[in-house]
Amino acid sequence: MSNVRVPRLTRRGILAAGGALGLGAVLAACGDDDKTSGSSGKETTAAKSGPWTFKDDRGTTVKLDKAPANIVAFVGVAAALYDYGIDVKGVFGPTRTKAGKADVQAGDMDISKLTVLGNEWGQFNVEKYAALAPDVLITTMFDGAGTLWYVPDESKDKIARLAPSVGISAYDRRLTVPLQRVWALAESLGADMTASKVTDAKKRFEAAATRLRAAAKAHPDLKVMAGSAAQDLFYVSGTNLSVDLEYFKALGVNFVEPPESAKKPGGGWYESLSWENVDKYKADIIMMDDRSATIQPADITQATWKKLPAVKAGQVIARSPEPIFSYDKCVAMVENLAKALETAKKVS
């Protein structure tokens, strides 16, 4: 466990330093390393005036003199916080599509009001980040090493010196855990967690989970395959380590489990298949990766895909491998799978 306190620079100070000497002066003003101190022992502390602390999923406790106002976050985390009434100043990660519309991971946010630091993997404009005078950077983590999602390795040290970071883990845990963690984070930031919009969304999620459990129990013979399409390969995901699939499996859903995925170092994720071998596994329902970097079902032209029984039967639904961790946004993904199980025909 560690504590992190990063010195604050005012917006004017950062802009002045940037104008006079460039980013190097800003980074130097932030010091070389984070200093550590004893833990408060509290996971979250929220107050509109007074100190703010939050213990993240790396065991790191971030301490600030007050609740952060200038928040920069991975777009999916920003979208979740938005659902709880918390706005961010900047985002990174898939935010807008090539057509200029909001990416699926942007949720309900008005992306025209956001500073986008990078829209693709490896993109992160450190100069823009510094100009935002960030109080904190928040993102998810998808491995056991605590790697901050979409924060590039080559610039992570510069980024770390500008503001403390909070990591919410989506690795080797079921969906409800990061949902609870983002809830706690939003509450610490001052969100009203008693608002009817918030409490109603949680109730709808719980009802959807009950519905999915019942559907899975009523149709144990239906096999579900989680897939993702690329130009040359089709990826079949195993449930191991997948935050959504582990949860659905716990509710009783019968998934295709590629044995190769279980052999990967540290666990699973997926098996890659050529399009000629896309029929290797029998499935009644196919869940397809809805992220903009993947090919969507309507755009798949391979004949082998079109011949799959589930495709011919119209039993293909969307899947969100990187969910927006608010209850409101996770309702649909649970309900969609429940409906698919309730209405699908056995075709495998």
pLDDT at residue 31 is higher than 60: no
Token readout for 22 is: 């460039």
* More confident position, 15 or 148: 148
Token readout for 57 is: 């999923």
Read off the pLDDT of residues 87-140 as tens digits, 9 standing for 90 and up: 999 999 999 999 999 999 999 999 999 999 999 999 999 999 999 999 999 999
Task: Give the position of tokens 């990660």.
Answer: 93
Mean pLDDT lowest for which of 12-26, 37-51, 170-184? 12-26
Cα angle for residues 116, 182, 213 (degrees, 5° grid): 120
Which class for 265: exposed (0-12), middle (13-18), buried (19 or more C-beta within 10 A)? exposed
pLDDT at residue 39 is higher than 50: no
Q: What gap in Å lies between CA 98 and CA 96, rounded to an integer?
A: 7
Read off the pLDDT of residues 125-180 as tens digits, 9 standing for 90 and up: 999 999 999 999 999 999 999 999 999 999 999 999 999 999 999 999 999 999 99
- Which element (helix H / strand E) includes 235? strand 233-237
CB atoms within 10 A of CB 336: 17
Q: What gap in Å lies between CA 62 and CA 76, rounded to an integer?
A: 21
Read off the pLDDT of residues 48-88 as tens digits, 9 standing for 90 and up: 568 999 999 999 999 999 999 999 999 999 999 999 999 99
Contact 106, 77 (CB under 8 A): no
Contact 336, 210 (CB under 8 A): no
- The residue among 129, 46, 142, 47 whose CA lies nearest residue 88 is 129
Instruction: Report CA 326 to chain centroid distance, whole Å.
Output: 10
Read off the pLDDT of residues 238-279 as tens digits, 9 standing for 90 and up: 998 899 999 999 999 999 999 865 555 444 578 999 999 999
DSSP 233: E
Q: What gap in Å lies between CA 327 and CA 93, rounded to an integer?
A: 21
